Amino acid sequence: MKKIGRLHVLTDTDLQDCFSHVELAELAIAGGADTIQFRQKTGETIQMIRIAEQIKALCKRAGVSFIINDRVDVAIASHADGVHLGQGDFPIPLARKLLGEGAIVGGSARNAEEARKCFLEGADYIGFGPVYSTSSKEDAGPASGLDLLRQVVEKIPLPIIAIGGINKDNTLLVRETGAYGIAVISAVCCEKDPEEATRCLRRLLEARQHD
């Protein structure tokens, strides 16, 4: 059974320089993240593999899923649990071929059409957004909003992970759309205490909804 997780924390060292990828992964896991995604857009591949191997070891010990953003080669080299691929990245069917049926392959979608494409290509989950406007991702595009997220949740029979501008103030609203989970970058990485920030989001995800 593939463990997709409901609270995905993407590690990032471009938006902040207080914590390394490995430190962020450790703090997020301690705070209750059940999926860690290693996201680094530039740098030497060999360095990325070394970092990914360290995070993989942390995740394995904690029973947390470990996913690499974009880089199928780094995922293979570090024995990650899977990859997350954007619309312009490595093709989902080819990633599946290289990583095998047991790997987690996620796809990004900004609208219902792209979400359907991910589903038809065999993605295990869809990262949908940006739900709110975000500065964490340069090419994020305009915010899709909660209504579109709700439509995608209803139409696409895959776990939908909402991403983009999600924080402690709007997590409950996102949850009400029926989304399977959330993915965050700055709401954890850019906080003074990433562990406590993760714990706060986890509590909101698990809070009993009002009748």
Specify the pLDDT at position 208.
Answer: 74
Active site residue 117: no
How far is the C-alpha of 73 from the C-alpha of 119, rounded, in Å? 23
Smallest Cα–Cα separation from 153: which of 129, 130, 178, 136? 178
Q: Which of 56, 71, 137, 202 is catalytic?
A: 137
Whether omega before 159 lies within 30 degrees of 0, making that bond cis, reads no
* CB contact at 8 A, 49 and 71: no
Query: What is the set of domains in the chain, with CATH numbers?
Result: 7-192 (3.20.20.70)
Query: How far is residue 66's CA from residue 34's CA, in Å, rounded to a whole number?
Result: 9
Query: Is 96 a catalytic site residue?
Result: no
Exposure class string for 22-52: b at 16+ Cβ within 10 A, else e: bebbbbbbebbbbbbbbbbeeeeeeebbebb
Active-site entry in 6, 39, 56, 110 = 39
Q: Percentage of the chain with pLDDT > 90? A: 92
Whether the predicted pLDDT of 211 surpasses 50: no
What tens digit of pLDDT does each residue of 115-163 get?
999 999 999 999 999 999 877 666 657 899 999 999 999 999 999 999 9
Among this protein's residues, is 137 annotated catalytic?
A: yes
Return the closest-CA partner of residue 187 out of 1, 8, 2.
8
The CA-atom distances, in angstroms, between 105 and each of 59, 94, 102, 118, 138 are 17, 10, 9, 10, 23
Q: pLDDT for 38-54, tens place per residue?
A: 999 899 999 999 999 99
Identified catalytic residue from 6, 56, 78, 108 = 108
pLDDT recorded at residue 37: 98
